[in-house]
Amino acid sequence: MNRIKLKESAYILKESDDIYQVVFTSTRRIKRFAVDNLVKELILSAKSETSLQEIISSFGSKYPEEDIVSCLYSLEAAGIVNFYGEDKINPRHKRQIAFINELTESWEETMKLQKKLEDSRIAVFGIGGIGTWIVNGLNQIGIGEIKIIDPDTVSISNLNRQLFFTESDIGQYKVDVISRKLSDLNLRKFYTKVSNDEPLDKIVEDCSFLVNCADFPSVTDTTRIINEYATKYREV
């Protein structure tokens, strides 16, 4: 418990002297909770970042230390305050972390989930009408490494529904275009076709997650093939 502060996305409303509401602005959830004088004073104090020692110094003459600590942990469990560690936050993901933080029970759990995203390696098969949007989303949330797998080149019919591509890209391999346009991303490209004749082991063996957007010769066929690899290399 290094530093203590109200969650940035928690908006506190007074319903009555004994009841407060907290509105979580990221998820739009609302909670009602009973308050006493200690709870009120701790919430007021935690509007600015502080420490446990500073809080005890401020209120220790009015309330037992164990009551203060217990109340702070209850506020954390209710999702109202955070106990921050020394974690460094990438400003790019600040809003995302605030959203995750509303769905977890502690700041530690929040940062573990964000770290899990950053450490993940995800393979996307088929970079078309669905695959390009998925690659874009994975990039935005900070996935550590994305593998893109597609043997096709850009055609004019792709331009009205697929991200990244323009008329100047027609005839170029899709994975080449995306690699060039997402040059700041840890991205690996493969020209491999999903089929029974193409081994995929080197692509999937170190992946955390596989996404199938390949539809040739059919979604049924590509799903079956990729599922076999997912089963083979699933984490135990």
Question: Has domain 120-232 been given CATH number 3.20.20.140?
Answer: no
pLDDT tens-place values along the chain, 236 residues long:
578 999 888 899 999 999 999 999 988 899 999 999 999 999 999 999 999 899 999 998 999 999 999 999 999 888 899 888 767 788 889 889 988 988 888 888 999 999 999 999 999 999 999 999 999 999 999 999 999 999 999 999 999 999 999 999 999 999 999 999 998 889 999 999 999 999 999 999 999 999 999 998 899 999 999 999 999 988 64
CA 93 to chain centre: 8
- Asked if 171 and 153 touch (Cβ cutoff 8 Å), the reply is yes
The answer to whether the CB of 87 falls within 8 A of the CB of 77 is no
Residues shown for the chain: 236
CATH architecture of 3-92: Alpha-Beta Complex (3.90)
Per domain, the residue ranges of the chain are 3-92, 120-232
pTM of full prediction above 0.85:
no
